[in-house]
């Protein structure tokens, strides 16, 4: 009985090891890609709305006169 448990444990360990390794590798690659992307101010950063103080991502923010706004109503445009 103990032998069966040990066998199952070894198989599980090997299986876990084989499954987990590529995932770690992938995560590391994603991080490397993220690091590589970091330089550049046009990336997704949080900016504060000039009017109401809400933080919005720079991609969604509306820029009027060099200032960031969270929405068109804050920016005063239609
Ligand atoms: Zn706002």
For residue 64, report the distance from its CA to the centre of ligand 1, in Å. Answer: 12
For residue 43, report the distance from its CA to the centre of ligand 1, in Å. Answer: 20
> What would the two tokens of residue 48 be?
């504060």
For residue 37, report the distance from its CA to the centre of ligand 1, in Å. Answer: 28
| Reported pTM | 0.44
Topology annotation, domain 42-78: Wheat Germ Agglutinin (Isolectin 2); domain 1 (3.30.60)
| Per-residue model confidence (pLDDT) at position 31 | 79
Local mean pLDDT, 10-residue blocks, the chain (78 residues): 90 85 72 68 80 93 93 90
| Per-residue model confidence (pLDDT) at position 69 | 95
For residue 74, report the distance from its CA to the centre of ligand 1, in Å. Answer: 5
Would you say 70 and 52 are in contact if contact means Cβ atoms under 8 Å apart? yes
Residue ranges per structural domain of the chain? 1-39, 42-78
């Amino acid at each position: 009985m103990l032998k069966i448990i040990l066998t199952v444990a070894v198989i599980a360990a090997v299986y876990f090891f084989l499954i987990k390794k590529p995932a770690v590798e992938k995560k590391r690659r994603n991080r490397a890609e993220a690091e590589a992307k970091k330089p550049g101010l046009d990336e997704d950063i949080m900016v504060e709305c000039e009017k109401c103080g809400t933080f919005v991502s720079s991609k969604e923010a509306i820029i009027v006169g060099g200032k960031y706004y969270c929405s068109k109503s804050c920016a005063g445009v239609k």
